[in-house]
C-alpha cells in the first residue's frame, strides 16, 4: 500500500513512519533503525541516509505497512506541511472510540 505524499528536499530533516502490520498502530524508525511507538524517540535523517532508511523500512513490509517520510526538526520533533496529520498520528485519535466511547 502506498500513498502520494509531498516530496521533501534531500536536506530537509525527515523521519520514517509506518503502521505496525500486526496491530495497525503508528510506529516511527529510531536513529538505530528499530521501530518505536514513542514519538519522542523519532530518528531524523537527511540526504542519502534518509533514502537508505526508507528503503530499509520498505524491505520490512510485513512487519510494517506503507512506510513513508514525514518532515521533522533536526531533533525529530514533528513539523512541516503535514504537522496536523502527524500530530494526530502521534497523539492518538481526536474522538473517543472503542469500549470507552
Q: At a CB cut-off of 8 Å and minimum separation 6, what does 17 contact?
A: 26, 27, 28, 29, 42, 67, 68, 69, 70, 86, 89
Render pLDDT for 9-58 as a digit per residue (tens, 0 to 9). 899 999 999 999 999 889 999 999 999 999 899 999 999 999 999 999 99
User: The whole model's pTM is what?
Assistant: 0.77
Whether 64 contacts 30, CB under 8 Å: no
pLDDT of 77 > 50? The answer is yes
Predicted local distance difference test score (pLDDT) of residue 36:
96
Render pLDDT for 84-99 as a digit per residue (tens, 0 to 9). 667 667 766 666 666 6
Separation of alpha carbons 54 and 45, rounded Å: 10
Amino acid at each position: 500500500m502506498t500513498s502520494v505524499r509531498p516530496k521533501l528536499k534531500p536536506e530537509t530533516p525527515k523521519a520514517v513512519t509506518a503502521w505496525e502490520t500486526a496491530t495497525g498502530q503508528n510506529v516511527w524508525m529510531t536513529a538505530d533503525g528499530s521501530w518505536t511507538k514513542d514519538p519522542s524517540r523519532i530518528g531524523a535523517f537527511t540526504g542519502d541516509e534518509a533514502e537508505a532508511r526508507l528503503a530499509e523500512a520498505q524491505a520490512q513490509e510485513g512487519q510494517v505497512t506503507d512506510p513513508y517520510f514525514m518532515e521533522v526538526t533536526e531533533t525529530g520533533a514533528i513539523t512541516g506541511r503535514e504537522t496536523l496529520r502527524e500530530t494526530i498520528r502521534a497523539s492518538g485519535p481526536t474522538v473517543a472510540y472503542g469500549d470507552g466511547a
